[in-house]
Structure 1
Amino acid sequence: MKISHLQTRFILAGILLVMTTVVSGIWSAWTFAHLSEVAGRTIQKSQLTTDLSAVLSDALEREDDALLLAMSGDRGQAQKKLDAERLRFAQAFNRLKENLDQPDQTQALAQLAKHAALYRAAGDVLLTTVAPQDAFRWYYQNVNPALRRAVAACAEIRESNFRAMQRAGIRARDDARGATILVIAISAAALLISTLVAVMLARSVLTPIRELDRSVEALRLGDFERRVEVTSRDELGHLAEGFNRMAEALAEFRRSNLGEVIAAKETLEATIAALPDAVVVIDPDGHIVAQNPLAKAILVATKAQGAKIVDDLPFSAGSLRAVREALEGKPTDETRAELTRAFAVRLDGQPRKFMLTAVSIPEFQPGRCGAVAVLYDVTDFARLDELRTELVAVASHELKTPLTTLRMNLMLLGESAGNLTPRQQEILATAAQGCHELASTIDELLDLTRIESGQLRLSRELVDVYPIIDRAIISLRQRFEDAGVAVQVAAGHRPAFVLGDSVRLGMVFTNLLSNALKYSPRGGCVSISVRSDHNGRGPGVLQIEVSDQGSGIAEAFRERVFEKFFRVEQHLQNGNATTWGAGIGLYLCRQILEAHGGTILCHAGDNGVGTSFVLELPSPGTVEQ
């Protein structure tokens, strides 16, 4: 009969183990109790034999004393004492006879009875027949020798009792040894039975579990035909049946959905292949796992057809960085990249330009992101941008000539300002200022076209930034005073030298100060600080910070303000901006600083008030003058 429940199996195994332990314990206790009882009984009998033999010996000695008393003349007292000792001897003798069970002891007791009878007979003759003058002679010839033989018989009984004790001790030792061996054998048998029960129980449980574990692993690896053999009707058997039913359901599901999965995969591949843009799919480890025909054609055209990982792709450093950020699940701003940074390649003999956008794919693998890189064809947009740039360049050049003439006329008119009324002088100054601002805007547009065409030239020399900053402040001082805004330069270690174009750097400071002035409230302050981490052991970094106390720039726009033609005012929700810019000043600042090997970043001002622009330029160090 098979047990159909694990609980019953464990309970029965536990009962068997407990019963085996209890039986072996009871047997051991009974064996040692029996040995203890036998040893106690033997010792008790031996002690009784020893005591009774001593009583017999003492009774004989006391009888001898009574005979000597009678020989001294006191026969009455001697007879009483003699009768009492003989009674005591008889009682002890009878008890000793009942206590002895060994043959040698029985034989020694018979010898004692014989010699005691002879001793008493000789004593009676001494008391009744022998004349007083012959009493001592009779005593020493007959009575005393008989007494010695009786006392020797008592000693023989004690000796035989000692030998019996020795034999009992040897027998008890042998019995104890045998009992110990038996107890060890029973304990070993109980241990063996317990071990066998435990092994069988463990095997009956672990074997199905191991088989189930191997089957689960096989199922995880895709072996949906794996089944577990049902060997029992207990809970493990039910578990195996449940696993088999689950495996069968999964196999059926796989068979029924495999066609759908394949169809979905083919549909996805066909969709990707039909897209008009180049698509590259990348797994979380940075390996290229899929690409459509246009992407393959681009890689072939750039001799990167063997690309296997992200770093093998022939894209710009910024585009590769955007792909890595997408793999990390970070948002990317590459979609707002300038068209001048488009990826150029010749396809079918025609120049084409593509703009890369990297998008993160959440849960591409459990807990990990993949990425898809899409190359948009921006050839037409790039051509339009080039035409726009050319138009701006032509228009700027065309505007510059009449503007120069106008400025010269205003300057000539200003020389005779003494003949003008104050109102006319004010109008003349305003016109001159407007011409100056328009000329600055035209210069910026021309610089913009030079940058985009790669024709920006820098006249580098070792210059001190403080005079450049001072000239920019002087050029805007009147505007600062009219706006009621203070400007201050923090005292620092002067001079601070950089290797750069003083004119272009002057444009950067003028733009930054002009922007700070536009967005500073009346009574505000624009501050400039210069710091250097040059340590005298090599080139350092010169850090220049321009801060205002205006309304500030939202964090979402602090990077976008450096984009070409981007204006924060266009993205304000209330749409009530009163100050507008052209959107090219900060773009030119970044381009000029990058051409110098520097950077510019936008941060919130101190305590979150206003805006700070931080410029960093390579510095050869501070030169003492």
Structure 2
Amino acid sequence: MAPPESLPGAIGQQADGKARRLRLGSRFLLAAGLLVCTTVATGVFTVMALSRLTVTIDDTLRASDETTSTIARLAGGLEREDDALLLALDTRGTRVPLEAQRAEVDEALHALRSVATSEAETALADSLSRSIAAYRRAGDGIASAGDDPLALYRERANPLLRKAVIETGRLRALHFEAMGRVAAVAGEEARRATRIVFAIALAAFGISALIALHLARIVIRPLRALSHGADEIRRGNFGERLPVQPGDELGDLAETFNRMAEELASFRATNLGEVLRAKRTLEATLGALPDAVLLVDSQKRVVARNPAAQALLGEAGRLDELPIPDSAKREVERAIDEVQGSTPPVDLGSAIPLASSGEAQRFLPRMLHVPELFEGAGGAILVLSDVTELARVDEMRAELVAVASHELRTPLTTLRMTLLMLEEGAAALSDRQRELVSTSVLGAAQLASTIDEYLDLTRIEAGQLRLDREPIEPAALVRDAIARAATLAADSGVRLETAIPDRLPLVVGDGARLRLVLDNVLSNALKYTPWGGRVAIEAAEEDGAIRIGIADTGPGIPAEYSERVFEKFFRVEHHLPNRERGGRGAGIGLYLCREIVGLHGGTIRCDEAPGGSGTRFTVRIPIQFSP
């Protein structure tokens, strides 16, 4: 609770009460109006000063350009007139060029008088005109004389020409001096305008500072008092109240704050019991769960756990302190950032070993995303289910499959050899008998393939699958797979479309295993493609790898199952009640494909086929791969 004098001192001082006779909106409007007026005044004066200065400078530059150009034209005209005079004296020919040059000089001289900006320039222009007239009279006198004209020119006309040229230079210098004086006046005008603008800006700054101080006095301090009251409410002190000064928005805000505090106090009194009951119910529910459950926040802190988790994992306070494998910790971190909850694992191979009650047991981890756990940040729930007995049963199942598959291979091989020999001598059999023999041979081959798959499955689970590596030509590998599937495609009414280059870079791998991958994916595509559909097979080199794509026009695989199709014993039709069964199969083919491709350093993925209908499987095998 704040001291009694703090909040009234911040909000309810008598002087401030008188100052707040106007609503805050009116006072802010007045303050904004003052700022706008000072800003506009500063801008208007600045624009006027700059405009006046710009006009002065433009006029000066324009007059300077005209005068300078005229003087230059006059000087050039005198030179050309002198050249024309010499030519006329030398050849005693026509005077037409001379008269034309004199007309040009007269025109320049007339223009010079019209652009003169001072009496001195006008007087000098008149003197120049007289010098030019004297020069011309001398030239005309020389032309009428019969003696040596060039000597007379150097004696009489040339000195007068030099005088005119000197006066032209003096006129240019006089003009430059006048322009310098005009520039000095313009500079002084600019400095004066700058001082005035600075003074106006300083006055505007002073007014703004006074307005800011005024607003701080009548607004900021009451808002600080309100912030203090809100902080008291946050601490649970719902008895906090603010004094109300009616007449403006701050008084309305203080009154609203007091009503909120009263309602919060009432809510706390009536709902605290319900909150506590809900908390006890949640704790009892978590305590009754047989699985170990932990709640981890976005900072990787363990914020809640049930007794089973405490007994199994101890009192670790952070995710990185939990006695679980690093792979499980990374899955929890990914679940924290996910928008949707992660899919519960169904493969007992994901189980992790932990010690419970002094015995080694296996637990299957499940990570679920929790949105907006604390202050908008997400979290994750880690559930550890005891699957020790299930893991033992799974190991026994794997051993049984391995033993049964191994023991069945010898009699099955004998049976296949017998059937093949019988098929070779089928000429003596009836059509019905030959059909039965062919069906038996096909069934025995399918059974042998299934047994091989189960044997590969047990080798993969035991980490004993070895690859017979050799250089392989991928294009030939794909074409052979297409040839093997051609009969099944024809019987199924499915069209095969291929885009296979003649040659592709060699890869190093197990040809038999890769053939198994292609046969499995291609047979699945044919199995699920309806009559009249098509299967497209393509192969290409891409980013240092061989990419093989197989796309069908079947019903497709939902996006949520695009990763699970590679799980052991998973079949999509088991999860979609309306999906038509795709024939025989144990659900281990794609699992074997993923593991075999992974042993080659490659990847296999499932996506929607181009066009939005069907499924596309993409296999990537690196060209350069070292195991």
TM bucket, shorter chain: 0.5 to 0.7
| Compared CA separation, residues 384 and 248, structure 1 to 2 (3 A) | same
**Partner in structure 2 of residue 592 of structure 1:** 596
Distance 1:572 1:264 in 2: 38
Q: 1:530–1:545: 8 Å Cα contact kept in structure 2?
A: yes
**Partner in structure 1 of residue 557 of structure 2:** 553
**Partner in structure 1 of residue 354 of structure 2:** 345
Identity %: 45
1:419 maps to 2:428 = yes
The normalised TM-score by structure 2 is 0.60
**Partner in structure 2 of residue 75 of structure 1:** none
**Partner in structure 2 of residue 284 of structure 1:** 298
Q: 2:302–2:316: 8 Å Cα contact kept in structure 1?
A: no
| Compared CA separation, residues 593 and 298, structure 1 to 2 (3 A) | farther
| Compared CA separation, residues 466 and 349, structure 1 to 2 (3 A) | farther
Distance 2:282 2:541 in 1: 56
**Partner in structure 1 of residue 21 of structure 2:** 9
**Partner in structure 2 of residue 364 of structure 1:** 373
Deviation at 1:511, TM superposition (A): 0.7
Q: 1:280–1:373: 8 Å Cα contact kept in structure 2?
A: yes
**Partner in structure 2 of residue 308 of structure 1:** 318
Pick aligned residue for 1:605 from 603, 609, 616:
609
| Compared CA separation, residues 563 and 388, structure 1 to 2 (3 A) | same
Deviation at 1:364, TM superposition (A): 1.5
Deviation at 1:281, TM superposition (A): 0.6
**Partner in structure 2 of residue 153 of structure 1:** none
Distance 2:277 2:502 in 1: 72
Q: Deviations over 1:404-441 (max 9, x none)?
A: 22111111212322222344323222211111111111
1:329 maps to 2:339 = yes
| Compared CA separation, residues 503 and 611, structure 1 to 2 (3 A) | same
**Partner in structure 2 of residue 151 of structure 1:** none
Q: 1:3–1:9: 8 Å Cα contact kept in structure 2?
A: no
| Compared CA separation, residues 201 and 291, structure 1 to 2 (3 A) | closer
Q: Residue 420 of structure 2: SS of its match in structure 1?
A: helix
Deviation at 1:277, TM superposition (A): 1.1
Distance 2:597 2:379 in 1: 35
| Compared CA separation, residues 597 and 249, structure 1 to 2 (3 A) | same
**Partner in structure 1 of residue 505 of structure 2:** 496
Distance 1:603 1:423 in 2: 44
| Compared CA separation, residues 542 and 198, structure 1 to 2 (3 A) | closer
Q: Which amino acid aligns with 2:338?
A: E
Q: 2:363–2:387: 8 Å Cα contact kept in structure 1?
A: yes
Q: 2:313–2:322: 8 Å Cα contact kept in structure 1?
A: no
1:407 maps to 2:421 = no
Distance 2:558 2:390 in 1: 29
Q: 2:508–2:624: 8 Å Cα contact kept in structure 1?
A: yes
| Compared CA separation, residues 204 and 598, structure 1 to 2 (3 A) | closer
1:272 maps to 2:273 = no
Deviation at 1:374, TM superposition (A): 0.9
Q: 1:3–1:234: 8 Å Cα contact kept in structure 2?
A: no
Q: Residue 601 of structure 1: SS of its match in structure 2?
A: strand
**Partner in structure 2 of residue 441 of structure 1:** 450
Q: Which amino acid aligns with 2:361?
A: R
Q: 2:16–2:218: 8 Å Cα contact kept in structure 1?
A: no
**Partner in structure 1 of residue 622 of structure 2:** 618
**Partner in structure 1 of residue 133 of structure 2:** none
Deviation at 1:326, TM superposition (A): 4.3
Deviation at 1:517, TM superposition (A): 2.0
Deviation at 1:296, TM superposition (A): 3.7
**Partner in structure 2 of residue 220 of structure 1:** 234
RMSD of the TM alignment (CA)? 3.8
Distance 1:415 1:202 in 2: 106
* Gap regions ≥5 residues in structure 2: 1-13, 31-208
1:542 maps to 2:554 = no
Pick aligned residue for 1:451 from 449, 460, 468:
460
Q: 2:328–2:365: 8 Å Cα contact kept in structure 1?
A: no
**Partner in structure 2 of residue 53 of structure 1:** none
Q: Deviations over 1:143-187 (max 9, x none)?
A: xxxxxxxxxxxxxxxxxxxxxxxxxxxxxxxxxxxxxxxxxxxxx
Q: Which amino acid aligns with 2:306?
A: N
Pick aligned residue for 2:387 from 366, 378, 388:
378
Distance 2:320 2:528 in 1: 43
Q: 2:535–2:553: 8 Å Cα contact kept in structure 1?
A: yes
**Partner in structure 1 of residue 521 of structure 2:** 512
| Compared CA separation, residues 201 and 460, structure 1 to 2 (3 A) | closer
Which moves more between the two structures, 262-271 or 196-205? 196-205
Q: 1:215–1:227: 8 Å Cα contact kept in structure 2?
A: yes
Q: 2:324–2:354: 8 Å Cα contact kept in structure 1?
A: no
Mapping 1:116-155, distance limit 5 Å:
none
Q: Which amino acid aligns with 1:10?
A: L
Q: 1:323–1:373: 8 Å Cα contact kept in structure 2?
A: no
1:566 maps to 2:584 = no
| Compared CA separation, residues 603 and 329, structure 1 to 2 (3 A) | closer
Q: Which amino acid aligns with 1:541?
A: A
Q: Residue 608 of structure 1: SS of its match in structure 2?
A: coil
| Compared CA separation, residues 583 and 6, structure 1 to 2 (3 A) | farther
Which moves more between the two structures, 519-528 or 371-380? 519-528
| Compared CA separation, residues 311 and 474, structure 1 to 2 (3 A) | farther
Which moves more between the two structures, 204-213 or 548-557? 204-213
Deviation at 1:200, TM superposition (A): 8.7
